Structure 1
Amino acid sequence: MVQGLAPARKPVAAEAAAPASPASTSSIPFRVGHGYDIHRLQPGGKLVLGGVVVSEQLTAVAHSDGDVVIHALVDALLGAMGWGDIGELFPDTDPRWKGADSRLFLREVCDRLRAARQRVINADITILAEKPKLAPFRSQMLLELRALLGPECLLNIKAASNEGCDAVGRGEAVAAHVVVLLAAEA
């Protein structure tokens, strides 16, 4: 044993590592979730981010509309609740979601949150893209997302480039990271 370190714990049994049941987690006052999504870009079509068309020269290669902002937001919300991920709820193998407006996904998850008596306190969103420039669309994205999450939700959207590094930096892809804080309703 290394001086100052606690001894290693025994492996956890599979039953103990299983996700907590909703009944056992109902007293948790706050929950944090992180979501990430990335899609390749191709010429033509429309690129939708945060529910807003930001380009009519590029489109995301995706089963749905490819809105990485909403996909990452949905994953963050699902993660905070321990409800899996967007692919489990809206699989790309289901023809119902072909070309679907991602706001439908967010609306469904928000309905589930309300039923679970959870509210979104804040969402911090970082969009990674070389093109198009997103500053002109930030206010409209905030309006679209606030309409779905509720006016009391504190939202922040930042955009960054990857400075020429990787697929995002070369303009071949767009990505988003989202961190959310949920609170239990009283």
Structure 2
Amino acid sequence: MSFRIGSGIDFHQFAEGRALWIGGIQIPHHKGALGHSDADVLLHAICDALLGALSLGDIGVHFPNNDPRYKDIDSKILLTETMRLITEKGYQVVNVDSTLCLQEPKIKKYVPTMQETIAGILAVSVADISVKATTTEEMGAIGREEGLMAMATVLLQKI
């Protein structure tokens, strides 16, 4: 069997007047992430990890932030399209391990729904999707609630 590992990372600033999307779901918060798409840092990091595992470039190669087709697009669509590319190459997801880094809001109660959403798109069980969160203990831009970031690692297996 052939296995491939990929890692991804994404950052977005917080901005007033934007919805906050993390892990494919909307999280109630007074600020949202700023970006060309819906700026879902978790799904973007997972996309990059999937693409990186097979040396397919990064999310910006496939979904450029200057392309009007992707303006305000739901990142679940980007993840679905990324998964199509992975499947076309003859691979399937074994598991995803991810970490969100943000001071606020607290996301613990939303994690099961994020896991369900991501698992559904990647065609794996919820037990194969890990979503963790941490703060920066109020240090730096994330600690000042200027933005958020996510990291993801994926393991792919040749079908």
Q: Which residue of 2 aligns with 1:173?
A: 147
Quote how far apart the aligned CAs of 1:170 are: 1.0
Give yes or no for contact 2:39–2:75 (8 Å, CA) kept in 1: yes
Aligned to 2:58: 85
Task: Identify the match of residue 113 of structure 1 among 50, 71, 86.
Answer: 86
Q: How far off its partner does 1:32 sit?
A: 0.4
Task: After TM superposition, list the pairs within 5 Å mapping 1:19-58 onto structure 2.
Answer: 29-58=2-31
Using the TM superposition, name which of 173-182 and 152-161 deviates more. 152-161
User: Quick one: distance in 1 between partners of 2:47 and 2:152?
Assistant: 9
CA RMSD of aligned residues (A): 1.2
Q: For residue 126 of structure 1, what is the aligned residue in structure 2? A: 99
Tell me the equivalent position of 2:136: 162
1:101 matched to 2:82: no
Contact 1:121–1:152 (CA<8 Å) still a contact in 2? no
| Cα displacement (A) at 1:56 | 4.2
Return the alpha-carbon distance in structure 2 between the equivalents of residues 126 and 150 of structure 1. Answer: 20
Letter in 2 for 1:125: S
Q: Which amino acid aligns with 1:179?
A: T
Give CA-to-partner distance per residue, 1:141-168, whole Å, 9 cap, x none. Answer: 0111011011347110100001111111
In the superposition, the TM-score normalised over structure 1's length comes to 0.82
Q: Which amino acid aligns with 2:61?
A: E
Greater RCO between the two (CA within 8 Å, min separation 6)? 2
Q: Which runs of 5+ in 2 are unaligned?
A: none
The structure 1 segments of at least 4 consecutive aligned residues displaced by more than 2 Å after TM superposition are none
Q: For the pair shown, which has the larger CA radius of gyration, 1 or 2?
A: 1
C-alpha contact 1:44 1:56 (8 A) present in aligned 2: no
Q: CA deviation at 1:39?
A: 0.3
Normalising by the residue count of structure 2, what TM-score does the alignment of the two structures yield?
A: 0.96
- In the alignment, structure 1 segments of 5+ residues that lack a partner are 1-27
> Given that residues 33 and 180 in structure 1 are in contact (C-alpha distance below 8 angstroms), is that contact kept between their aligned partners in structure 2?
yes
Aligned twin of 1:12:
none
1:77-135 CA distance string (max 9 Å, x none):
00000000000000011001010001111100111111111011010010001010000
Q: Percent of pairs identical after alignment?
A: 36
Moved more, 145-154 or 164-173: 145-154
Partner of 1:150: 123
